[in-house]
Amino acid sequence: MEIVQNIKVAVDAIVFGYSHNQLHILLIKQKFGELKNQWALVGGFVKDSETLQDAVNRELQEETGIEVSYLEQLYTFGDNIHRDPRFRVITVAYFALVNSTTLTPTPNTDAEEAQWFSIKNLPPLAFDHKEIIDVAYKRLQNKLTYQPIGFDLLPQEFLFSDLENLYCTILEKEIDRRNFRKKILSFGVIEETEIFSSKKSGRPAKLFKFNYQKYKDLIKEGFLFEIKFA
Amino acid sequence: MEIVQNIKVAVDAIVFGYSHNQLHILLIKQKFGELKNQWALVGGFVKDSETLQDAVNRELQEETGIEVSYLEQLYTFGDNIHRDPRFRVITVAYFALVNSTTLTPTPNTDAEEAQWFSIKNLPPLAFDHKEIIDVAYKRLQNKLTYQPIGFDLLPQEFLFSDLENLYCTILEKEIDRRNFRKKILSFGVIEETEIFSSKKSGRPAKLFKFNYQKYKDLIKEGFLFEIKFA
DNA sequence: ACAAAAGTGTTAATCTTACACCCATGT
DNA sequence: ACATGGGTGTAAGATTAACACTTTTGT
């Protein structure tokens, strides 16, 4: 059986980061070639003998050197036949999160430049990458309410106020501070540490951390993480 | 820029149907060729100049003649490099529902046979199609609890008991009949009709229908469809 | 002493759960 | 008259939502 088909398969990663109370996205700029001077998502063509996942990880490594803390397939964009004007390309988009500590992208080749952009202030983007980001952002907003992925955007030890702020910022809503804390703590997957942070002003605050093991155990017993208000 | 890549792109549809209080899946069997005598999902290779959606619809039409009432992209399977032993194929899987009334598949070519199988009693399947079905089934179970897609598995006018049964069957749980009815009716998206069904035995029951327009309006106002118990 | 952020409890309202008997029809 | 499935309400318990003052630190 001979199949004649001329469709290329790419992967793209929408990498979210969070710092200074702002949600960021990682973009790269090719210095040469077709995409010269256009900002685009991290990504590229899949090799014949690598998995899709491997392709994303390879591109992330090559183009930014960043290690993500969460990665999942988002959606496959292939309904706009001319999304790449050169030839037919479908792209399998991946949704990724990094904790803000890992924040400095360093591309492996000097043909590229990698940089964080606030989601509120994105540059013009190549292809349909803006649409892809929109889909990813919605996924992030949704997921935040039913999976503890906020912690993948924070350092391992974080302030409760940072967590709260992250929810406010990403969901674009006000949250009652007391109810939020009560709810989150009631899950029993967040632990106090002995460490206090000394911010510039105000009362020092305890640092908390997410107990991933505990979460996995609870899940097995049918536990549901869910943040409804906000 | 020349890209050398030898990956073929296919689409597959996991088509769910519901009848006789059982969940069914639509499968086809090629009478000739590589897949001779193996049951498989509806699907095939994407043409260079058609969208992924069009490809699924075309395959559904060609192989079964069935019209689906709900279709959405499920997942792209491309991490098992040898999922097709012939060459590298990634498949974009689509999740589809049909209301039970449309239940008779009639393949357009006589090289194929199409048939409904109870999900509890599937034949051996080609490639990784069993895994794909597992993913689709989980999606169905999840989605049932937060989107009114059960109605896409029922005829336009249905008995409350059918709806209830559908939930029990698919979620594999017991449901309190009274609480279920109360909850569903409280959403205000289901309407009584004037028609009564006359089943073989028991008190005749009102038929209900789902008001899709009403649902869309409510969604805009921030309404959430959610069936938690069960 | 004051500015800035952290920490903390109670109450009313709403939603969820558990539960059992009568009703309308066909045989 | 009985078998079959349809239809209905209430009360206890759990969850959510609304709300404001005190504490600790740095300046």
Residues above pLDDT 90, as percent of chain B: 83
Q: What is the pLDDT of residues A105-116, one digit of tens each?
A: 788 777 789 999
Which residues, at least 6 apart from A131, have a Cβ–Cβ distance to it below 8 Å? A77
- List the single residue in B1, B51, B92 with the smallest CB-CB distance to A81: B51
The Cα–Cα gap between B115 and B41 comes to 10
**Could you give the number of structural domains in chain B?**
2
For position B9, what pLDDT does the model report?
Answer: 98
Residue A83 · residue A129 · CB < 8 Å:
no
Placement of tokens 């019209």 in the chain: B67
User: How far does chain A reach from its first CA to its final CA, in angstroms?
Assistant: 55
Which chain B residues touch A48 with a CB distance below 8 Å? 5-7, 88
Residue A36 and residue A95 in one domain: yes
Nearest CA to the C1' of C4 belongs to which residue? A202
The nucleotide closest to A207 (CA, C1' atoms) = C6
The Cα–Cα gap between A160 and A169 comes to 14
The Cα–Cα gap between A48 and A63 comes to 20
Q: Which residues of A are catalytic?
A: 113
Residue A103 and residue A201 in one domain: no
Biggest CA pair distance of chain B: 72
Residue B101 and residue B178 in one domain: no
Dihedral of CA atoms B195, B201, B203, B208 in degrees, nearest 10, equals -30
Active-site choice (B50, B113, B172, B221): B113
Residues forming a β-bridge with B11: B44, B92
Burial (CB count <10 Å: 0-12, 13-18, 19+), residue A18: buried
Closest CA to B96 of B49, B47, B149, B52: B149
| pLDDT band at residue A1 using 50, 70 and 90 as cut-offs | low
Residue A89 and residue A169 in one domain: no
Last residue of a domain, one of A86, A111, A143: A143
Interchain CB distance below 8 Å, B46 and A78: yes
- Write down the mean pLDDT value for chain A: 94
Tell whether A2 is covered by a domain. Answer: no
The two tokens of residue B6 are 């030898």
Residue type, B34: E
Residue A162 and residue A59 in one domain: no
The CATH number that applies at residue A97 is: 3.90.79.10
Tell whether A230 is covered by a domain. Answer: no
Residue B163 and residue B104 in one domain: no
Of A86-100, A177-191, A198-212, the one with minimum mean pLDDT is A198-212
Q: What is the pLDDT of residues A19-55, one digit of tens each?
A: 999 999 999 998 888 788 899 999 999 999 999 999 9
Burial (CB count <10 Å: 0-12, 13-18, 19+), residue B181: middle
For position B3, what pLDDT does the model report?
Answer: 87
Residue A12 and residue A119 in one domain: yes
- List the single residue in B3, B34, B81 with the smallest CB-CB distance to A49: B81
Residues whose CB falls within 7 A of nucleic chain C? A 159-161, 177-179, 181-182, 199, 201-206; B 176-179, 182-183, 198, 200-204, 226, 228-229
Residue A186 and residue A92 in one domain: no
The Cα–Cα gap between B185 and B179 comes to 10
Domain span holding position B161: 145-221
The CATH number that applies at residue B201 is: 1.10.10.10
Nucleotides of D under 7 A from a protein CB: 3-10, 16-20, 23-27
Q: How far is CA B135 from each of CA A75, B85, B128, rounded to the nearest angstrom?
A: 15, 21, 11
| pLDDT band at residue B101 using 50, 70 and 90 as cut-offs | low
Tell whether A3 is covered by a domain. Answer: no
The two tokens of residue B221 are 């106002």
